[in-house]
Each structure stands twice: as structure tokens, then as C-alpha cells.
Structure 1
Amino acid sequence: MGLLLGTGKFLKNGCKNLYFFNRIDATEQLYKSGKIQYILISGDNSTKNYSEPEDMQAELIKRGIPADKIVLDFAGFRTLDSVVRAKEIFGQNSFIIISQKFHNERAIFLARKYGIEAYGFNAKDVNKYFGFKTKVREYFARAKVFVDFLLGVEPKFGGEKVEIS
């Protein structure tokens, strides 16, 4: 199982989001090499016209990945939600997390804290100037992980279990 962490297809200025396309490239590579058989796409779907999971699914299908090998999690609003829901809702105790290195480091830390055997597959990163804002945001996200543990924060949404055969 590959857990593809969501991000928007486009930036606020309308340009393509290279984080998105690099994660799609990495997922395609893993699937076509036989390293993963299913893809769980977890991301934000908080407004009517914005769905990270559906945008990523559409892009993967365009690249030849069968729709029946893709499962969508629309409640992956944060990395914590995506990782814990992969275990609690989708029944996965071991998976490969697909994102950029800086994001995978935090996601794997979270997974292991929740008893999940997780590994990261690092998608290509972006130019350091292009990704400056994201890197600054990551420093705060890493600190928030510890605050969340201290406060016992759980995923925002639960839900019925979904079996992935």
C-alpha cells in the first residue's frame, strides 16, 4: 500500500504546484515498478470546488493506473489525520508514505508513534527558493506534532472502516 499525501494541483497564483506533480511522478514510479499494488490518496476536500484526492486520482488514471487500485480518503486534512486514518479506517498497519523528504520525515515519525510500520518514498523536491514558504511552514508543523501528542489530539473525523483487499 502506498499512502499518497495530498496537496493542491495549483498554487494560489494559478501556476502548477510542483509538489503535486512530483508526488504523482513518484507514485506512478512505485506502482509501475510493482512496489505497491494499491494507492490510498489522503487529502483535503473541505470545499465544493477543491479536492486533493480527486485531483490526484484523475492525474494517476491519466498515467495508466487503474481506478480500482486507488482508494480515496477525503478527510486527510492534516498529516496526522492521513496517517492515523490509514490505520484506523483503512486497516493498514504497514505502508509506504509518498511525499517530499521533509514531509515524509514528519509523517513517518507520526506513524511510528501510532504503531505503524511506515517507510517513506521521497518525491523530488522543488527549488529551494520556490519552496521557501513551505519549508518555513514545516518547522512550525514539526513543533505542532509534539503539542498534539501532549494534548492527545486525534484525527478530526472518524468513520466506518473501509476494507482494502
Structure 2
Amino acid sequence: MAPPKKKKNEPGRKVIAENRKARFEYHINETFEAGIVLSGTEVKALREGQANIAESYCAPEAGPNGTEIWLVNANIPEYSAGNRENHTPKRPRKLLLSRKEIGVLTGGVERKGFTVVPLKLYFNDRGMAKLEIALAEGKKLHDKRDTQKERDWGRQKQRLLRERG
């Protein structure tokens, strides 16, 4: 039996955390790339590969310069070699987006009832921490079942092709 294939990321991307459950629970309409405001120990903890964005979400809030988007409930554990100046693991983190992108996201959330969900946390080719977020609509139970059926059928098809080929 052949060894399992490694997942290939886009060149220059080092994925730290991925929210795989989001693609199952939401219809993804539009994706955006956002920068994150981080402290030094948070960046070091991310470089160690420690992060969890599975239960996090993005929320728009009114700020001093207009609306801002915040990443809420993302867990970046304390840096292992940190001292008393270490960061708080689940603090809200500001996302860096253009005004146009913030307008699209807040408009979707307010008018159309969409949700802003984080998909991936990664370092780009310049070494900057980025977050891929999506404007998404929640799936109904029957949609989730259809997705599961398609995945099962795809696996079964692959097995049949392997046995015959």
C-alpha cells in the first residue's frame, strides 16, 4: 500500500491552525485575508505551532475610527519560555482589514444574517501571521447530511477504483 499523500499548502504558507468544522457547518460565500494584532509572546507561541481557532468567531464592534472586526475566543496558549509578561490565551484580537472589506463583512452580518468565521491561521511568505476569514451562512441539518453522503460516496468510489485498478 502506498504511503498517504501529504497535503500541499500554497507555496510560502505555513498553516498553524485550521477550522475544518467551519466548512462542514457553513456555506462559505466569500473569503478574506486579514492581519492580526499580536503581542511578541503570541507570535512566538504561534511559531511553536500552538493555536486553536475551532471555537472562535469574528465580531464587528464600533471603534474610535469606525467599525472594527475582532477575533473572539481564539486560543493561543502562553509561550512556553515566556515570563510574567506572557499574554492572556483567549483575549480578543483585532483584525486588520481595509475599510471596504470591513464594510462588506458588517453589511453581510447586519443585513443578510451571515456569520464571519475564521478558516485558517497561517504565516505568509513574509513571515506575517494572517487569518483567512469567510462570510458564511449556516447550513441546515439536511445540508449537513447531504455533505456527509457526498463524502462517504467519494470514499467508497476511491476504494472501488483501488480494488479494480
Q: Which band: TM-score by shorter chain?
A: under 0.3
TM-score normalised by structure 1 residue count: 0.27
Going by fraction, where is helix more abundant, 1 or 2? Answer: 1
| The structure with more radius of gyration | 2
Could you say which structure has the greater relative contact order, defined with CA pairs below 8 angstroms and 6 or more residues apart? 2
TM-score normalised by structure 2 residue count: 0.27
